[in-house]
Amino acid sequence: MQVTETQAEGLKRAFHVVVPASDLEARAEARLDEIKGQVKLNGFRPGKVPAAHLKRMYGKSVMSEVIELIINESNGKVVEENGFRLALQPKVKLTDEGEAEALLDGGKDLVYDLEIEILPTIELGNFKDIAVEKPVVEVTDAEVDETIQRLAESNRPYEDKDGAAADGDRVTIDFAGYIDGEKFEGGSAEDIDVVLGSNGFIPGFEEQLVGIAAGENRTLKVTFPEDYAATDLAGKEASFEVTCKSVAAPGEVTVDDEFAKGLGLEGLEQLKSMVRERTSGEHAAISRQKVKRVLLDALDEMHKFDVPEGLLEQEFNGVWEQVQRDMAGQGRTFADENTTEDEAKADYRKIAERRVRLGLVLAEIGEQNKIQVTDEEVTRALVERARQFPGQEQQVWDYYRRSPEAMASVRAPLFEEKVVDYLLELANVTEKPVSKDELYKEDEKAGEEA
């Protein structure tokens, strides 16, 4: 085999490879000899098929198999001898594709061009230099009580009543929505419970139901908010034809041991303890996200290197496809975002580049420090995913077990979190007490992490 390097620019390498016809023929003859005793042809005893006849019958298929094997072996040898770490699978192109058929007939050298893209050499920084503030929120008694009160409100009993509905009553309605006299998608429903004054519907809807009685029909006039989630409805005027089916008055609900027992608990103290623990866990999860973002920002600033173009294109294409799906689903354009498609592409390419770079840095940290995800950890995560689909657990389990890509999607975030844990042990982490509002304040860089 003759290998000539033809390109060495940045992370791209290219080679011209020639494998002599004699090597191909020798491998093909050896393979034909292997299958000689396996094939069954009419008129010949097993193992007695003449070599010439066998070659006429199976020569091309065997040569195709040999060529594929030799290309894989040759590529592997090029990579190993040069100490390359591949970013993507190599690209192979026959130098003379027009003679592919002749190559299968034998007697011709295998000549092809090999293009590869390698991973960059990453010099890791000193992680002890990273300073991270961890926001910490104390769960107050007032927050626990407020959460329990909301729980009580959602479990408040209602009793049917005669007469008009007042603020705080629950009305059960059917409604159909119209814009410019035409029904709009998603604007109709039946047997919907509305608690008047709960602000669960668009502004003006509940207020116009005050005073309605069972059996009464009303037409409500409303305007969808400018920032309404369904952008095709945002800011538009609509009318709703409403039929009231029943009116119910709220009953008394007392937050005490009996209320907690009604939820299957031992008493009020256990309910408070559970709410405090759950709330604390929610705060901790948000705090973790913010700490991780600061850590990744520091890693991004600390490590500057060119990323493989192939990996960048893959990541950008995935990001851009999601952006287009989201915008199409929301009925929005780039003009609505005060930008152009080209400007948006440039911005999202930067995000994609950051993700690729951070992914490579995290992988390098994990490799150098022998951080691994065990099969047991993957199984536990897979069980949790399956539980999110009640009644379909086995189908979910089978899907992931059959798909290496799907299993990789389970393993990858586990690996990332373990690397983050490792880094946080080295970094200078200090706790900073903050308010709940400050903790939950949106971060402008949310979504850019690896």
Architecture of domain 2-117: 2-Layer Sandwich (3.30)
Position 97 scores a pLDDT of 66
- Backbone φ and ψ for 87, nearest 5 degrees, come out as -85, -35
Helix (H) or strand (E) holding 249: strand 237-250
Residue whose C-alpha is closest to residue 287's, from 128, 141, 435: 435
**Residue 82 Rama label (left phi>0; alpha psi -120 to 50; beta):** alpha
Spell out the alpha helix ranges (H) of 369-402: 375-387, 393-402
Position 56 scores a pLDDT of 73
Most confident of 391-405, 414-428, 429-443: 414-428
Confidence of residue 443 (pLDDT cuts 50, 70, 90): low
Average pLDDT score, the chain? 90
Start-end of CATH 1.10.3120.10 domains in the chain: 266-439
Compute the average pLDDT of residues 349-363: 96
Contacts 24+ apart (CB under 8 A), 404-411: 407/378, 407/382, 410/378, 410/381, 410/382, 410/385, 411/373, 411/378
Instruction: Note the pLDDT tens digit of each residue in 265-279.
Output: 999 999 999 999 999
Start-end of CATH 3.10.50.40 domains in the chain: 156-252
**Domain spanning 266-439: which CATH class is it, in words?**
mainly alpha
Start-end of CATH 3.30.70.1050 domains in the chain: 2-117
pTM more than 0.75: yes
CATH topology of domain 156-252: Chitinase A; domain 3 (3.10.50)
Residues 227, 232, 237, 239: is their CA dihedral positive or negative? negative
Within a 13 Å sphere around the CA of 350, how many CA atoms are in the beta-carbon half?
Answer: 7
Instruction: Note the pLDDT tens digit of each residue in 25-56.
Output: 999 888 887 777 666 665 565 655 666 666 77
Confidence of residue 449 (pLDDT cuts 50, 70, 90): low
CA 414 to chain centre: 13
Cβ-based neighbour number of residue 429 at 10 Å: 16
Compute the average pLDDT of residues 171-199: 93
Residue 25 has which token pair? 């023929």
CA dist 137 and 433 (Å) reads 6
CA dist 413 and 411 (Å) reads 6
